[in-house]
Structure 1
Amino acid sequence: MKITTENLTKVFNAHRKQPPIVAVENLTLEINEGEVFGLLGPNGAGKTTTVRMLTTLIAPTSGEAYIGPWKVGRDDRHIRQAVGLLTEAPGMYEALSAEKNLTIYARLYNVHDVKGQVEKYLRMLGLWERRFDPVGSFSKGMRQKLAIARALLHEPRVLFLDEPTSGLDPEAAKLVRDFIEELESEGRTIILCTHNLDEAERLCQRVAIFKTRLIAVDTPENLRKRLFGRKVVFHLRHVQPQFVDLLRTFPFVEEVSAFENRLVVGLSDPEGQNPLLVRRLVEAGAEIQFVGELRHTLEDVYLRTIQGQHGA
């Protein structure tokens, strides 16, 4: 299902002696069907508030939002049937077994085959052998997997995941990431709120960076290019000043800098331009050991974007 928002805003009325708190301001966004989409921002940026509005847990102050054909605030019952939600701190009935917990929620969602769905997701997430154990005896990773199973019992087409791997050990975190990729292959729309930027880069087709207001939205690769361009690193046995001068004669070279035995060159099309530069450097006597690309991480993109917003 496609998700769209237009000028979506949430204002919380503080104590009458304090001004109102704007949590989300004029958020206009479009999330494609079947897309894994990341919501990134510092604490207090409005990520969780946005999710709570889109899942109809709280009402927007103004603006509009649609989950597929259904409008938030008008078709809330349909939306709740169509979405699944994993909150950052999911609560469970700790004295009850994993199977009993899921059975209760499956019945609340009017799942047709309660027993079959409960077994399906307990097995899928590796919890079937512990199905009769009380949830209070589960590790944090097991509880997180059980919470994901709960969010999927009614087979939602849209899934909201708020910090799905927070606090998990590497093995449990990888299992959750693999599971998200499997859900993506089924064509579900997944909205991922996370502070784990490496995870967001691996899982998300696009990300939105915002702090109350939307700052940037695009693929991680396009955001990298927009903020940093592309830079190729030529590793040489020795760097000579004439090599720098040579590279600067090419009109398509955007910038050149030398660091120890490396030349860092800004290019718009490295794949097309590298062969000529390699050939000319070799002709000039350069001993090239290898060529690579200087890649900025999504964390670099995020920090540059947020810092730029602070300076605006």
Structure 2
Amino acid sequence: MPSQRGTDNSHGVGPAIVADGLGKRFGDRIAFEDVSFEVARGEVFGFLGPNGAGKTTTVRTLGTLLAPTAGSATVAGIALTPENGTRIRGRIAIMPESPGLYERLSVVENLAYFAGLYEAPDPAERIADALASVNLTDRAAQLCGTLSKGLRQRVSLARALLGNPQVLFLDEPTSGLDPVAAHDVHELIEQLRGRGVTVFLTTHRLEEAERLCDRVAILNTTLRIIGRPDELRQRVFATSLRVTTRQPLDRPDAVFIGLPAVQAWREDESGGYLLTVTDTAIAAPAVTRALVAACADVLSISEVAHSLEDVYLRLIGPRPADTDRGAAS
């Protein structure tokens, strides 16, 4: 990695974020350690993990609110060093889980106050643009204390957009929102992607990450895995077929063992069979023919579709006992 002093790719060259062996301790307690990744400019990057995994501390560290105790990083193309904190903060924004708005002030008064703190140029124009971006122009005069949580989240996002950030850190932006309000936030994130803003998203909603994120990382103090959701499914789970028959097979080994592209099989908890295969296009017809030859009443043969939640639980959650005849997953 280039020397931290003098590293400056803030004009759109290179990744938006680079972490290299980054770590943070509080005394003897490790918040996170040895974290390395890159985030491309314009990417929506998901940062997943259980409570206490170090996600928010990572965001605060990359956002210059905390100093790392190990490793190095660049944010918005600028080296993460104490002397560069002001420059980095001028190119990023952080939207925390709690909106942190002044409830007795109107929406526009809140934004005007924060625009002054940020020393935003042309504050009236920035406020108008931010309100339009989050579809709140018609709510500008309404007191923040009278808004629903979903609308307050939109105001918080508008506040984060006042500085026209290159990198936007969103920490649990849909926490506690109903499905309609969460959907609105999702649409806003998609719009930000279209504008070329890099979005660093921490969330507990795995379906949200699967829908929105170009890539995701799973953190549990250390980085467990990183990649595109479809890529992670392939890396964590073997390709499998699920077979369901009306009655259990008398001799499953005789039916499944030795079939083309079938590596292993095991009984499914639902009473069917899971087959690990190398190629579903080859295995499925062979399995169908073998079941017909065995006079089995076949109800279904389908490829197993794993979700990002399955990947997360495999890496973070408890792992069930394995009773495979081989290595079916």
TM-score (norm 2): 0.83
Counterpart position of 2:307:
297
Residue 96 of structure 2 corresponds to residue 87 of structure 1: yes
Taking the TM superposition and a 5 Å limit, the aligned residue runs for 1:110-259 are 110-238=119-247, 240-241=249-250, 245-258=254-267
Letter in 2 for 1:274: A
CA distance in 2, matches of 1:59, 1:3: 16
Aligned residue-pair number: 303
Deviation at 1:44, TM superposition (A): 1.5
CA distance in 2, matches of 1:69, 1:124: 25
Counterpart position of 1:17:
none
Q: Indicate the RMSD between aligned Cα atoms, in angstroms.
A: 2.4
Structure 2: unaligned runs, 5 residues or longer: 1-14, 320-329
Counterpart position of 2:48:
40
Change (3 A) 1:244 1:185: farther
TM-score (norm 1): 0.87
CA distance in 2, matches of 1:187, 1:284: 57
Counterpart position of 2:20:
6
Counterpart position of 2:65:
57
Q: Which is worse superposed, 279-288 or 99-108?
A: 279-288
Taking the TM superposition and a 5 Å limit, the aligned residue runs for 1:11-22 are 11-13=25-27, 20-22=28-30
Change (3 A) 1:221 1:31: same
Letter in 2 for 1:65: A
Counterpart position of 2:325:
none
Structure 1: unaligned runs, 5 residues or longer: 14-19
CA distance in 1, matches of 2:289, 2:132: 57
Q: Helix, strand or coil: the match of 2:159?
A: helix
Contact 2:259 2:286 (C-alpha < 8 Å) held by counterparts: no
Contact 1:161 1:191 (C-alpha < 8 Å) held by counterparts: yes
Match of 1:269 among 267, 273, 279: 279
Contact 2:17 2:39 (C-alpha < 8 Å) held by counterparts: yes
Deviation at 1:246, TM superposition (A): 3.0
CA distance in 2, matches of 1:102, 1:272: 60
CA distance in 2, matches of 1:185, 1:213: 31
Counterpart position of 2:7:
none
CA distance in 1, matches of 2:16, 2:279: 34
Deviation at 1:66, TM superposition (A): 0.4
Match of 2:36 among 16, 19, 28: 28
Q: Which is worse superposed, 187-196 or 242-251?
A: 242-251
Cα deviation digits, residues 280-303 of structure 1 (max 9, x gap):
544655554443222233223222
